[in-house]
Amino acid sequence: MPTFTTKHVVNIFRHAASLPSAVWDVFRRDQNISNIMYPHARKALSVEGGHDVQFWLTCSTFHAIDTEPRLDFVLSCTEGPLGSYPIFILPTTPFHTLTEDYIYPRIEQLAHSLLAVAGAERVFSVFAPEPVTIAFSRLWSQITGIRSYDEPYYAAKLTHCTAATFVDRTMSVFPDISYLPRPATERDAAAVAELCAEFASTSEPFVLSEKRARKEAKYLIRQGLIWVLQASHNGQAAEIASIVAVTRQSEDVAGITKVYTNPRWRKRGCAERLVRHVCRFLLADKCSVVLYVAHNNPAAAGVYHRVGFTGLDDSKRRVDGVDPWLEIGFDREVVRLGHW
C-alpha cells in the first residue's frame, strides 16, 4: 500500500499586498477571531512602503492525497503607532481542534522561521488562542533560550455582541448628573491622554509615559478612533468620565480595544453607558462588535454582559466563538518591549 506523507511548509510575506488569497479568505470568513490581525493587514495595503518590520508568516500542510495545501496558521509580526505589536497567531480551524498533536509541529516550524527573519529580540510577547500561545512560548524558549514569564501578561475571553444580542435598555438616572456620549475632539486631548496613561498603568508592562500618552491620544482622536462620555455633576464643569477606543475595524466587525473610567466617576454606570452607545452606533453598520475581557476583571465582564456581549454570564454553557486567549511575555532583560 502507498505511504501518505504529511509536510508542513512555512511561507514569509513582507507586504500585505503579497498575502495569498487563502489568507484573505480566512480573514474574511471569521472576522471576529481575525480582528486581531485582519484590520491591520487591510490598512497595511495602503501604507506600507517596503520596510522589513512588517511581515506575515503562514504555515500550510501538504497531504499526499490533497491537490492544494491546507492553510493552518497565520502569524503576524507588525508595527503599530506606538511601536511593535506582539506576535499574533491566528488558527484557521475551530478552537476545539487545537490539540497538542495538531499545534506543536506547525508552531515549531513557524517559530524557527520567525527567528530567522525577525531575530530573538523582536519577540517580546505572543498573543493567540490559549493552547497556541502555550505551545509557542514553550517552543520559543527551547529554540532561543529566552525564558517566558510564568505569569501571563493578559488572559482573556474573546466575546462578541450582535444586533440580536445587544441590550438597548434605559439605565438608572442620577438626577444630579448629566451625561453626553460623543466622539472625542482635539479639545479632549489632555483628558484622553490622562485616561490612556491610567489605563496603561493597569496593563503592565505596557505602561505609557506622559509624552507617549499624549501621542496616543492625539493619534486616536485624529483618526476618529475614540469616544468619550462627558459628565457633569450638579451643573459643575464637565469632565471626561470614560473613554472607549475602537481601533480595529473590517467590513463586518469592529473591535473595542480600550475601555476606561476615570476613578472619580466610577460606580455611576459610565462605562456601561458609553459602551452601549458605541455598540449601538457600530451595529448600525457592522454585524458584530468584539472585545477581549480579562478573566480577572468580573466587573468589566458584568458591564459587557449587560450590554449584550455573549458568554460572560455565570453559566458554564459554552458559546461558539467565545474562547480563551492568552498573552505570554519573554524576558525583558533580553527583548525589546513594544506596545499595543
Strand runs labelled E in the chain: 6-13, 55-63, 70-77, 79-80, 83-84, 87-91, 125-129, 154-162, 177-183, 226-233, 239-249, 253-261, 288-294, 324-329
Question: For residues 321 and 32, is the Cβ–Cβ distance under 8 A?
Answer: yes
Please tell me the predicted confidence (pLDDT) of residue 65: 67
- Mean per-residue pLDDT over the chain, rounded: 94
Full-model pTM: 0.94
pLDDT, tens only, 128-159: 999 999 999 999 999 999 999 999 999 999 99
* DSSP state at residue 330: B
CA–CA–CA angle 300, 302, 307 (5° rounding): 100
Q: What is the tens place of the pLDDT at every residue in 278-311?
A: 999 999 999 999 999 999 999 999 999 999 999 9
Quickly state the pLDDT bin for 50 (edges 50, 70, 90). Answer: very low
In angstroms, the CA 299 to CA 293 distance is 10
Domains of the chain: 6-157+325-329 (3.40.630), 166-309 (3.40.630.30)
